[in-house]
């Protein structure tokens, strides 16, 4: 399950709750496109902003509408108690795996993070992907800590932050981590702009934001990389450079992805939980222009 | 209310809930010492880790046991919807003021933060203190943004991060901010090690962690500063340098304060919500040695 394209859909919301019909539409679109798994309640799915009940509902809706595509559900929370509750309801709702980031308010220590994973793994019957996303969690994993956590029997994948754009540096980075983890633990790349390089450098999976909106474009990149055609994978990614530029300019992928979903009519506006806002005015225009230029579907 | 010593108690918890009896003891101790206000559910009070119901309960318990000392309650949350719910229950429970930090998972923009404060202020009948704590919120206020937010009628104080230890630089910093905000908005210093300098530089309040455990020591510093005796304020703070050194060494004040509360029997162990842990082993010994040396009460 933790190989290939894992597509991360948004969770469109109003201030009253989940826009369920629109969310189901996003999930169905991904299942039809043939993604390898669907990662609900990732950072793109705004897991950190939703209540426990809303999160349980999102997992249930996605399992019911994914036509058998495995659902990986984000269970992260500031407090271990809440992570355990999310893990239980995700499993009850039929998630095939879970994704856990060490979310922080107070900066966490390595021992605290290890104990979090160890505690959660004891209550899991499905496999877990370690979600290494320092941009939002403000926790920096050392490779040594990744190695310790990866020994926990439920851990089967590590979602790593963007690799260096130099393929040799990226290959060394993936190989270094690989040496420290069991052979049945996969490594997945995140950060869409770095995905082709990450896959060409030996990553087994792509945890993808753009794959949650334009799965065909993401599948074309990953299938090329999986077939050993590194050049095509890289070229296809470079064609999407105007999109990666928007991510860089607007502080990450979330607001860009949510704005795309709004302007293409996939979700109604506003789709983000306040205080978060999609791009407006001239910024929104720029997104529209990039989409016109790229002609994705 | 947003002047003088605002003492921030811990919220001792188990994985099952608030340790209410111990929390009441902490609040009573502060009220008896004569602090000017009590800041419950600050970062020290672990607001971000508690449920809405637990937070409402903490405010109620503190109002009931503070013997008339004003209660300022932290209402921050990732989502505006949850901030509004916290504001409502804090007011219902009798809080005299609220404290709001722009907590983030996705990095926030200036406009998002302004809109958060504007939305929350519309629903408030008590005054608000803007909580500027980039170390935990990962949001950096510009002075210009502080100026805009401080125009909102409910805003009556800004809790600023540690100032430069050089008194002239600190005085300039406080004066620069003062120029941009209405005259009835106070400026309070946080970061205990910087408090004497901040107060001597013109801050009106000290939002204090150590004041939540050793209110007499904190009161001695602030009363000296308020009386214009900058030298004594600075000397009293310097006597506590071994404590400030522990804060620096252990990533901030929370784990040190919680360890102090445990080793002095104010709270039972463990008192922090998992995954957070108090200091153990040799680190705990060091805290005990510092306490022996300082002889605080």
- Across the interface, do A274 and B81 touch by the CB < 8 Å criterion? yes
Residue B265 lies in a domain: no
pLDDT digits 0-9 by tens, B151-172: 999 999 999 999 999 999 999 9
Supply the mean pLDDT for chain B. Answer: 97
Tell me what pLDDT residue A1 has.
87
Rounded Cα gap, residues A200 and A184, in angstroms: 19
B115 CB within 8 Å of a chain A CB? yes
Count other C-beta atoms under 10 Å from residue A110's C-beta: 16
- A276 part of contact set with chain B, CB < 8 Å: yes
- B297 pLDDT band, cuts 50/70/90, is confident
Q: Residue B251 has which token pair?
A: 């990533």
Interchain CB contact of B49 with A (< 8 Å): yes
What does the block give as tokens for A138?
A: 């403000």
> Is residue A256 one of the residues assigned to a domain?
no
Closest chain A CA to residue B14 = A81
Cα A212 from Cα A209, distance rounded (Å): 5
Query: Which residues, other chains included, contact A169 with Cβ-Cβ below 8 Å and sequence gap of 6+?
Result: A163
Is A178 inside any structural domain?
A: yes
**Mean pLDDT over residues A127-133, rounded?**
97
* CATH number of the CATH domain containing B44: 3.20.20.70
Minimum-distance CB partner of B252 among A80, A106, A136 = A106
How many structural domains is chain B composed of? 1
pLDDT reported for residue A229: 98
Torsion, Cα of B81, B86, B92, B94 (10° steps): -150
Q: Mutating which of B51, B53, B275 best tests the A interface, going by the most A Cβ atoms within 10 A?
A: B275
Kindly state whether A179 is in contact with chain B, defined as any CB-CB distance less than 8 angstroms. no
Q: Is B292 on the interface with A (CB under 8 A)?
A: no
Model confidence at A153, pLDDT cuts 50, 70, 90, reads: very high
How many angstroms separate the CA of residue B4 from the nearest CA in chain A? 26
B289 interfacial to chain A (CB closer than 8 Å): no
pLDDT at B113: 98
Whole-angstrom Cα distance, residue B170 to residue B201? 6
- The reported pLDDT for the residue numbered A279 is 98
Residue with tokens 């188990």: B14
DSSP string over B99-116: EE----SSPPPHHHHHHH
Q: Does A233 touch chain B (CB under 8 A)?
A: no
Q: Do A274 and B115 touch (CB under 8 A)?
A: yes
User: Which among A19, A117, A159, A214 is annotated as catalytic?
Assistant: A159
For residue A48, what are the domain limits? 4-229
Biggest CA pair distance of chain B: 49
Burial A215-237 (b: 16+ CB within 10 A, else e): bebbbbbbbbbeeeebebbbebb
**pLDDT reported for residue B228:** 98
Residue A110, domain member (yes or no): yes
Residue contact A275–B80, C-beta within 8 A: yes
Residue A182's φ and ψ, nearest 5 degrees, are: -60, 155
Q: Which residues of B are catalytic?
A: 131, 159
Q: What is the DSSP string of A131-165?
A: E--HHHH-----HHHHHHHHTSTTEEEEEEPPPPS
Average pLDDT over residues B194-222: 98
Closest CA of chain A from B243, distance in Å = 19
CA distance B11 to B273: 9
Q: Around A216, how many Cα atoms within 13 Å sit in the side-chain half-sphere?
A: 5
Answer yes or no: is B38 within a domain: yes
A48 falls within a domain = yes
Residue B75 has pLDDT above 90, yes or no: yes
Question: Does residue A274 belong to any structural domain of this protein?
Answer: no
pLDDT at A297 over 90: no
Select from A100, A254, A275 the residue whose CB has the most chain B CBs within 10 Å, as the one to mutate to test that interface.
A275
Partnered with residue B72 across adjacent β-strands are B39, B97
* pLDDT tens per residue across span A180-212: 999 999 999 999 999 999 999 999 999 999 999
Integer Rg of chain A from CA: 18
Residue B59 lies in a domain: yes
Residue of chain B whose alpha carbon sits nearest to that of A81: B15
Q: How many CB atoms lie within 10 A of CB B7?
A: 32
Retrieve residue A236's tokens. 């296809």
ipTM: 0.96
Please, which pLDDT band fits residue B106 given cuts at 50, 70 and 90? very high
Instruction: Assess whether A107 carries a catalytic annotation.
Output: no
Catalogue the long-range contacts made by B91-96 (C-beta closer than 8 Å, 24 or more residues apart): B91/B124, B91/B125, B91/B126, B92/B56, B93/B56, B93/B59, B93/B60, B93/B63, B94/B59, B94/B60, B94/B63, B95/B59, B95/B63, B95/B71, B95/B126, B96/B1, B96/B37, B96/B70, B96/B71, B96/B72, B96/B126, B96/B127
Give the model's pLDDT for residue A11: 98
Q: How far is CA A7 from CA A37, A215, A263, in A?
A: 6, 7, 20
Using CA coordinates, name the residue in chain B closest to A109.
B276
Q: Does the beta-carbon distance from B119 to A81 stay under 8 Å?
A: no
Quote the pLDDT of residue A239.
Answer: 97
Smallest Cβ–Cβ distance between A275 and the set B43, B115, B255 belongs to B115
Of A79, A106, A275, the CB nearest to B254: A106
Give the mean model confidence (pLDDT) for residues B6-33.
Answer: 98
- Please give the mean pLDDT across all residues of chain A: 97
């Amino acid at each position: 399950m933790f190989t290939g394209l894992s597509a991360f859909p948004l969770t469109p919301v109003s201030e009253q709750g989940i826009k369920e019909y629109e969310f189901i539409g996003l999930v169905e679109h991904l299942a039809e496109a043939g993604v390898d798994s669907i990662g609900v309640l990732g950072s793109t799915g705004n897991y950190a902003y939703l209540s426990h009940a809303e999160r349980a509902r999102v997992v249930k809706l996605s399992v019911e509408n994914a036509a058998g595509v495995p659902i990986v559900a984000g269970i992260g929370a500031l407090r271990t108690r809440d992570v355990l509750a999310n893990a239980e309801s995700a499993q009850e709702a039929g998630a095939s795996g879970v994704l856990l980031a060490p979310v922080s308010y107070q900066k966490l220590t390595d021992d605290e993070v290890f104990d979090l994973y160890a505690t959660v793994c004891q209550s899991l019957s499905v496999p877990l992907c370690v979600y290494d996303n320092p941009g939002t969690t403000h926790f920096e994993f050392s490779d040594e800590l990744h190695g310790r956590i990866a020994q926990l029997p439920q851990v089967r994948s590590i979602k790593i932050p963007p690799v260096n754009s130099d393929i040799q540096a990226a290959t060394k980075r993936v190989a270094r981590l690989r040496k420290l983890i069991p052979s049945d633990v996969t490594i997945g790349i995140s950060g869409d702009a770095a995905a082709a390089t990450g896959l060409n450098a030996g990553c087994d999976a792509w945890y993808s934001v753009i794959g949650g909106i334009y799965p065909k474009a993401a599948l074309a990149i990953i299938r090329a990389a999986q077939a050993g055609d590194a050049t095509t994978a890289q070229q296809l990614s470079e064609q999407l450079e105007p999109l990666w530029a928007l991510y860089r300019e607007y502080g990450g992928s979330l607001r860009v992805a949510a704005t795309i979903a709004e302007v293409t009519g996939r979700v109604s506006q506003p789709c983000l939980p306040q205080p978060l806002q999609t791009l407006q005015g001239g910024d929104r225009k720029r997104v529209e222009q990039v989409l016109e230029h790229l002609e994705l579907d």
